[in-house]
Structure 1
């Protein structure tokens, strides 16, 4: 009994010391277990897909997005022809969700029914166009 208590105490002490000064773990947003009207279900063929709230910059049209440290470009950029977002889009940001289907593919959706597919730009370290 004494040996068991000593062993348990040693294990607990070891765990406490290992955690001292450690950074707290921060949960990353993910797809809810039960899809709601505000989220799109993950593609069952891609178990790593995750959906996060996202404010898409639309001021000069819809052409690029940065997700974490990856720069993406729209497969089909959208504009009113004068460098503004098309009718029906908020300006300067559109609130919605970004579903990361893979490390190189993302899809923006919102409650207005918009959908924009994005592809990662390998090696990119900044946006192609800076909007003023």
Structure 2
């Protein structure tokens, strides 16, 4: 019949074996990314020129063309848009830009690579 000391040692050894299996690895796992994989994008306040319809936007030194230009058919902004500007925000991510305002308007744009001016000027 085992003595009380032998049972205590066996219990302690069992507990140590169980607890050591839960320890964190000593070195980082090789399959864990070391840097973030997403890019943070923020919106900036923007006054979209709408006077002759919504066709283009210039953000800093980059020119963008609307994916789907908007106008009333007579060279004016569509009903419900400000004229000559609509205030909102624009978000640029890579070669894409999206304008949004508090009225629910959204316009998507794509970059015109190498452009140095607007496609057309409005009087």
Give the direction of change, closer, same or farther, for the CA distance of 1:46–1:114 in structure 2 (3 Å limit).
Answer: farther
Is 2:115 the counterpart of 1:115? no
Alignment length (residue pairs): 87
The question of whether the paired residues in 2 share the 8 Å contact of 1:106 and 1:117 is answered with: yes
CA RMSD of aligned residues (A): 1.2
Indicate which of 75, 80, 94 corresponds to 1:88.
Answer: 80
Q: 5 Å matches for 1:19-98?
A: 46-98=38-90
Q: Which runs of 5+ in 1 are unaligned?
A: 1-44
- Extract structure 1 runs of 4+ deviating beyond 3 A: none
Q: Which runs of 5+ in 2 are unaligned?
A: 1-36
- Aligned-partner Cα distance in 1 for 2:40–2:92: 8
Structure 1-normalised TM-score?
A: 0.64
Is 2:99 the counterpart of 1:99? no
- Aligned-partner Cα distance in 2 for 1:93–1:87: 13
Find the structure with the greater CA-based Rg. Answer: 2
Give the direction of change, closer, same or farther, for the CA distance of 1:98–1:46 in structure 2 (3 Å limit).
Answer: farther
